Amino acid sequence: MRFLAVIVTAAAIIVSVFFGLSTAGVQSQIAENEQNIQTALNAMQVYDDRYAEAEQQLQQAQARLDELTAEYEHQQILDNYRDTPTAFITFDDAPNEYTDSLLQILDDYSVKATFFVIGTRLQTQTQRNYLKRIYESGHEIGIHSYSHDMSLIYSSEDAFFKDLYKTSELIEQICGVKPKLVRLPGGTASAKTLCERYSGSAETFGNIMQRLSDEGYTVTDWNVDSGDWDTSLTSEEIVDNVRNGASGRLGAEYKTALVLLHGQRYSRDALSQVIQTLSGLGYDFDKMSANGYTYVQTLR
- Full DSSP string of 113-144: -EEEE-GGG-SSHHHHHHHHHHHHTT-EEEE-
pLDDT at 20: 53
- Which region among 2-11, 61-70, 120-129, 184-193 has the lowest average model confidence (pLDDT)? 2-11
Where along the chain do its domains lie? 2-67, 84-299
Q: Report the percentage of the chain scoring pLDDT > 70.
A: 91
Average pLDDT of 50-56? 81
Q: Does domain 84-299 have CATH number 3.40.50.720?
A: no
How far is 176 from 186, CA to CA, in rounded Å?
Answer: 27
- Which region among 8-12, 179-183, 234-238, 273-277 has the lowest average model confidence (pLDDT)? 8-12
pLDDT at 72: 76
Dihedral sign from CA coordinates of 46, 50, 51, 52 = positive
96-112 pLDDT, tens digit each: 999 999 999 999 999 99
How far is 144 from 185, CA to CA, in rounded Å?
Answer: 6
What count of Cα atoms within 13 Å lies in the side-chain half-sphere of residue 50? 6
Average pLDDT of 236-240? 96
Q: Is the pLDDT of residue 176 over 90?
A: yes
Q: What is the pTM of this model?
A: 0.79
For 268, other C-beta atoms within 10 Å of its C-beta total: 21
Residue 262 near residue 113 (C-beta atoms within 8 A):
no
